[in-house]
Amino acid sequence: MENLLKTICNRILDEEGHLFDLFDPDEFNPAKRRPPRPVPAGPGSEFLFICEIKRASPVKGRLCANFEPGKLARQYERAGAGAISVITEKNFFRGSVEHLLPVRRQTNLPLLRKDFLIHPQQVYSSYNLGADFILLIAACLGDDQLKEMVAAARLLNLSVMIEIHPASELERVLSVNPDLLAINNRNLDDFSVDSRHSLAIKPLVPEEIPVISASGINSAAQIRELKAAGFAGALIGEHLVRSSEPEKTLRRLIHD
């Protein structure tokens, strides 16, 4: 799994680079859609459960035998999710941009497009696909790229969640003022998980920045610990999609 992140980004460049070369934001034709929904995180907001629709992972393979994105979205909303994340990366996570469409039809919750976004063309397409906020992974983007991607999202009124893993990425991410900061407990170089990693990084983040803990979260005890540490929310994926009863599983995380 070494250098998997680089492999994924290079694959995207190989397959979609021609679209990036042709892209002209002045010729962008925005889809007819309701304005992007705000993400309920920050002062005065309840703890945000971002629940993920995820078919597979590079490490564990297929996660869900009967993968129905729209059905999962309904279950998550009924259980109390505050937002839904849809993985659209196709080669390693077996996602698809087409998974966003049935989810958008089934819920009014804010939708996160979770992918390896490396060019503004992908930001604009995220808007047309119905996303309300996007994930940017700091390790995938240089400083100028990061600024360019955030600027594109701002033009479209899309919220931005920027993900870091090591604390060394924090300073340059804070410089672009993300709407949310995600601290990934998963090391994207080798996909190993340390569920307490985000707890170690959180004290370094200014209090005004809403912080999301991502990956390796599977118990109500962890949720209580994150709340006590001042996290704004958690992104939960495999624990839900691998469950035979995802709605009940999420209810237990929220209410236990």
Domain extent listing, the chain:
4-13+51-255
- pLDDT computed for residue 2 by the predictor: 52
Give the whole-angstrom CA distance, residue 214 versus residue 194.
Answer: 10
Measured CA to CA, the distance from residue 112 to residue 174 in angstroms comes to 20
Q: Report the Cα 20 to chain-centroid distance in Å.
A: 22
On the CB side of 93, how many CA atoms lie within 13 Å of its CA? 22
Superfamily for 4-13+51-255? Aldolase class I (3.20.20.70)
- What pLDDT score was predicted for residue 13? 96
Query: Which tokens sit at 167?
Result: 């604390």
Please state the φ and ψ torsions of residue 53, each to the nearest 5 degrees: -105, 110
pLDDT block averages, 10 residues each, the chain of length 256:
82 96 96 94 93 91 88 96 97 94 93 98 97 97 97 98 97 97 89 91 96 96 97 96 95 93
At 130, list the tokens.
């119905």
First to last CA, the chain: 35
As a whole number of Å, the CA-based R_g of the chain is 17
Nearest CA to 147 out of 166, 174, 170, 109 is that of 174
pLDDT tens per residue, range 180-235: 999 999 887 777 899 899 999 999 999 999 999 999 999 999 999 999 999 999 99
pTM above 0.85, yes or no: yes
Q: Which of 93, 52, 56, 95 is nearest to 76 (CA)?
A: 52
Q: In this predicted structure, what is the pLDDT of residue 1?
A: 42
